[in-house]
Amino acid sequence: MNNDVINILTMAKVIQTAVAPVFLITGIAATLGVLSNRLARITDRARQLERKLKISIDEDFNKSLATELRALLKRSRCIHIAFSMSVLSALLVCAVVMLLFLSHIQSINLGVTIASCFVAAMALLICGFMSLLGEVFLATRSMRRGMIFADIDSND
């Protein structure tokens, strides 16, 4: 078989191997969209509470607003961590794709480097999802507290 044909066939195999990480990047991009939306909602709510805090003179009301603002700050930190880890994960997956091609083109054995990048990408993605889960727990807890306080207020 012609050497050019063999190179084309091996390049086709490299492309096939690189397709799976590209789908992973697409999934991470969807996750980043979710995280962006959650952060935008947190930011909008915080701005709304800050406006109320500026015009309110009721001490008890201001304390409840400050408590909710602190909860929103915790949630935004979780989202920030999740976002950062997800982006780093996507960058490492991109590096995996790039290293696959470089390994083939330069005929260098980068198997350990590629595997290390992929494992690190997965670890970052796991941590990002754990941080997102933490933010969801915080949001749920804040919502339940709000419902409890609403029940107390309605019983008065």
pLDDT digit string, tens, across residues 88-134 = 999 999 999 999 889 888 888 999 999 999 999 999 999 999 999 99
Whole-angstrom distance, CA of residue 6 vs CA of residue 33: 41
DSSP letter string, 16-40? HHHHHHHHHHHHHHHHHHHHHHHHH
pLDDT in tens, 39-48: 999 999 999 9
Q: In the chain, where does DSSP find H-type helix?
A: 3-55, 59-106, 111-155
Whole-angstrom distance, CA of residue 41 vs CA of residue 38: 5
pTM of the model: 0.81
Contact predicate 118/93, CB 8 Å: yes
Does residue 147 register a pLDDT over 80? no
Whole-angstrom distance, CA of residue 132 vs CA of residue 41: 14
Whole-angstrom distance, CA of residue 10 vs CA of residue 20: 17
Q: Which of 17-26, 59-68, 128-137, 140-149 has the highest mean pLDDT?
A: 128-137
- Annotated domain spans of the chain: 3-153
Is the pLDDT higher at 137 or at 6? 137
**By C-alpha distance, which of 28, 73, 30, 66 is closest to 49?**
66
- How far does CA 60 lie from the centroid of its chain? 36
